[in-house]
Amino acid sequence: MLSRICRELQKSWADTQPFRLLACWIFFAFLLYSLLYLLALLLAGTYNPLNELGQHFRNAFSGRESTGLLGVMLTALLGFAAQQWRILVDETKIREERRRQALEELENLNQALRTKRYREAISLYWNFSDKCKLLWEGLGIEKYLQAIWREKASRPLQVWVDLCQQTYTPELRIEVLEALVWAWRMDREKRDLVQQRLNQVIIPPQLPVLESLVEDDPKGLPLLRSEAVRKQLDALTVESLPEDHWESLERLRTWCSVPIRLPSLWARVERPAEPEKVRESLSAFGLSDNPFGPERAELDPWLEDYGAWPASLELARGPRPALIFGAPGSGRTAAAHLLFQDCISPPASPNEPDVFPVHLSGVETWPQTSNDWLRILAREMTEVLLRLCADDPYGLFEHKAGPAIAQLIGSSLGSMEAVEADLRRAGLSGEALDYVLGEIREAGLGDYRELDSTTLLDLLGRARPAYAKHTYILMDVPGISPKTDHAKKAVSLAALISLASPLLSRGVYLKLFLPEEMRSDLEPLWPEEPLSLTWTEAELREMLEQRLQKVGLQTLNAIVSAADYPPDPDTWLIRSAEGNPRKLVRLGNQMIRAAARRASS
């Protein structure tokens, strides 16, 4: 109370300053006029100058002699006007300087928003809002601040500022939920207010509304999986809820808990169609499709269902490096694909738990040094993380590996423009895109900065989703062709193998599926016994049975002619394959086509 009274007195004193100055000028003008009049009397030899001076002033104020009074007032007003003009000029200069400095400070906010440094931007906004009420009052800065904020700030930050200024309970909408998720990460200084707003919108009666938002809006599930919303749901107990809200809470928690998994390597692959006559014959046999299909594993998405795993590859599973050699057609590509599939399926509890798989494919050049391989591995891992960003833009960066993920993405792609382009290609857009770009910018990157090998190794070991404890790098190397420089390829793979040990110490496991003809070059470089991809007749029989059951067939006897094949065509096919899955598929396709020709004739 006392401080407020003092401030009011200071303000009143400041407001009366012009009147006080005018009174001073009048006083000094009278003093100057009196001195001049006394001097004139003395020079004239008047005997009693003081009496004369008094009589002169009485005459002036009684109206009988107004010249003196007018002189005094004119002198005072001229002096007062001159001083006020000088004060006004000085105040204008000071005001313009303060205004210039304030606008320069606003440019920092503009720059932070433009470069998506959102934590810095929201902190600057609150700081400048306070300054507009105190230091910048009367400078007209408030309108510029709000114009920059409306034009440059991402929509969730604008909504968050509105929520801070509201005195009523906000309505639960996607826009409000998104603003709270952003503020939870970006506005640490107001974390208590964020929590207060979350307590207002995520309450038991609103759980069915939240469930509906998650189901109906594509933004819903990523927001639900964010730390802010997840913690709020965890704080609710079933005992505190009405019975009709129990199921909503359980469904919401289930959606939160299931990790976002990578899509299958066959996600966008369609099985090649069979020729029309073959399709007609298969239909006549009562089959839904050809049980053999493509010889190349990467072209057959059905391998997800009937892919077999031989005993010779058991040691290729688990958190350990593996070097696997296999002859042409032995199933190296299928094995790499199926191991990747085991890391992501079933989504709630994969066969290979706690693993972040990276399938290395499409290596067009063969690097000759380990450092070059590190950059390729970093880029491939970045591509996989970008796909996860599209599905889980908030949750991916909120755990302890978030900064490493952001740094790896930023350093691998080279610039924020490249990062944004790749994120858009991965399917990210709108506010979620801005959020991810902001997280990558917060990692201290934005322009290309080449990292040393130790830093890259550390990033490869730390940049993985929250659910993963290990990283598998799976690579299926194609066989040697006449156009392939065998020696160059061997040197390149030797450089890659040299990274197995430093990657192992960081929880990253190389699993290389290599052609048999490279064994002599690379086996001596591997510290342990390499694996050989081989198949027994029993394992090929299991493979055949799974394929036949997929299309509703128990045995090939139902479709092949006894005149063309032995009484047990299944056993004949298995033995003719000679331990080679590709040969089994090839011979099986020949049997299917022969049966189709016989049926059509």
In this structure, the dihedral spanned by the alpha carbons of residues 350, 353, 356 and 360, taken in order and rounded to 10 degrees, is -70
Q: Which of 85-99, 480-494, 554-568 shows the lowest mean pLDDT across its residues?
A: 85-99
Q: Quick check: helix, strand or coil at residue 325? A: strand
- Taking CA atoms, 302 is separated from 206, 261, 429, 574, in Å, by 43, 19, 32, 20
- Taking CA atoms, 79 is separated from 37, 82, 598, in Å, by 20, 5, 122
Six token digits for residue 172? 């639960």
Average pLDDT over residues 568-582: 94
- Taking CA atoms, 405 is separated from 263, 383, 412, 441, 507, in Å, by 19, 11, 11, 12, 15
- One-letter amino acid for residue 340 of the chain: F
Q: Which of 166, 165, 161 is nearest to 124 (CA)?
A: 161
pLDDT in tens, 432-455: 999 999 988 887 665 446 788 999
Q: What is the band of 43 on the pLDDT scale with cuts at 50, 70, 90? A: low
Which spans in 443-499 are helix H? 453-462, 486-497
Q: What is the DSSP string of 540-560?
A: HHHHHHHHHHHTT-S-GGGTS
Q: What is the band of 210 on the pLDDT scale with cuts at 50, 70, 90? A: very high
Beta-strand runs (E) in 46-180: none
> Which residues, at least 6 apart from 511, have a Cβ–Cβ distance to it below 8 Å?
316, 321, 322, 324, 336, 339, 472, 473, 474, 475
Residue 484 predicted with pLDDT over 80: no
- How far apart, in whole angstroms, are the C-alpha atoms of residue 331 and residue 309? 10
- How far apart, in whole angstroms, are the C-alpha atoms of residue 489 and residue 495? 10
The pair phi, psi for residue 160, each rounded to 5°, is -65, -40
- How far apart, in whole angstroms, are the C-alpha atoms of residue 141 and residue 131? 9
- Percentage above 70 pLDDT, the chain: 82
Q: What is the band of 167 on the pLDDT scale with cuts at 50, 70, 90? A: confident
Judge if the upstream peptide bond of residue 242 is cis by omega within 30 degrees of 0.
no
Average pLDDT over residues 272-285: 82
pLDDT in tens, 378-405: 999 999 999 999 889 998 998 889 999 9
Give the per-residue pLDDT at 260.
Answer: 83
Coarse DSSP helix, strand, coil percentages of the chain, rounded to the nearest 5 percent: 65, 5, 30
Give the per-residue pLDDT at 256.
Answer: 87
Task: Tell me the domain boundaries of the chain.
Answer: 2-115, 154-257, 275-300+535-601, 311-532
- How far apart, in whole angstroms, are the C-alpha atoms of residue 115 and residue 125? 15
Higher pLDDT, 54 or 424: 424
Six token digits for residue 415? 């610039």
- How far apart, in whole angstroms, are the C-alpha atoms of residue 127 and residue 141? 13
Q: Which of 45-49, 102-106, 317-321, 559-563 shows the lowest mean pLDDT across its residues?
A: 45-49
Q: What is the band of 9 on the pLDDT scale with cuts at 50, 70, 90? A: very low
Tell which CATH classification among 3.20.20, 3.30.70, 3.40.50, 2.50.20 matches the domain 311-532.
Answer: 3.40.50
pTM of the predicted model as reported, rounded to 2 decimal places: 0.81
Give the per-residue pLDDT at 49.
Answer: 55
